[in-house]
Amino acid sequence: MLKAIQTNTNLKTALVFLLLFVIPIALGTVLGYQTIGGYLSPLLLLIITWLLYRGENKTLDELGLIPRKKNWLFLPGGIILGTAIVFLSLLVQMINVKVNFVMNPKADYLQIAGGLFFILAGVINEELIFRGYCFKKTADKNGILIANIIFAFLFMVWHWISWNAWGNWPVMLGSITTAIGHILFATAFLSSRTLYFAIGLHWGINWAQHNIFGFYPAADIQSNPPAGTLILLDSPVQQISQFQEVMNNVLPGLIVLGIAWLIWIYRKRATV
């Protein structure tokens, strides 16, 4: 059995993926996601990834994780671009549904900035699991298209679990946006040859969605705005049509795919 695992790249990759997939869930279940368990798992995933490459006489440079200036610059660049993507998606959504932007008068800037560190562990977990060792091995063995199909689906399943969405078909189908997110992050990684770009993008998008922009009822915005959100959004339209609801997912998805295409084209031309 051990020999079969060692000689079958796809089988080995699947077993490694299962291990990486389970670790954050197990630690989060036992220790809690907002405790040390949430920050222990990315360190453990990184050590396992390092050991896997060391066993192949390789280094973390396979994922562009060796600290170099050209790699590190992609991290802040990704954060800025990720935040811009969320803002652009909201502007496009305004074509479909009217949205009011209100600067939060009770914003706590320290809490908003702290949100960057609060979500970092989860971002690193997901990048190492879904765009790390296993994704790279699958892409090298079976091609980028096959790897993206497999890991985009697995990324959706991951969110079904974290959102407790099993059986809730509207949420399960709506989570296709996470599969599109995988395409963006995977393209960023493959184009830049460093996972720092994918981490930065993912980090910036999550931060913008959690701490920069937030949808709240108009009554809450006026009486008790959340201190951890910079810009408050509300729609004066109480009910929207099914078509508008679908378009609220489709339009941002098209923006993300367009950005992914531009990243791929730019890096492809830059290396010619």
Which strand (E) or helix (H) includes residue 103? strand 100-103
Q: How far apart are CA 186 and CA 63, in angstroms?
A: 11
pTM of the model: 0.91
What is the number of other CB atoms lying within 10 angstroms of the CB of residue 47? 10
The pLDDT, as a whole number, for residue 135 is 98
The pLDDT, as a whole number, for residue 272 is 45
Q: Which pair of tokens denotes residue 255? A: 């923006």
Beta bridge pairs of residue 171: none
Query: 143: left (phi > 0), else alpha (psi -120 to 50), else beta?
Result: left
- Give the closest residue to 186 by CA, choosing from 136, 140, 141: 136
- Give the closest residue to 237 by CA, choosing from 102, 94, 103: 94
Q: How far apart are CA 151 and CA 203, in angstroms?
A: 19
- Give the closest residue to 210 by CA, choosing from 97, 105, 129, 120: 120
Give the Cα-Cα-Cα angle 85, 136, 21 (nearest 5 degrees). Answer: 80
User: Does residue 104 sit in helix, strand or coil?
Assistant: coil
Per-block average pLDDT, block size 10, for the chain (272 residues)? 63 93 86 70 96 96 92 95 95 81 90 92 96 97 96 93 75 82 97 96 97 78 81 73 75 92 81 49
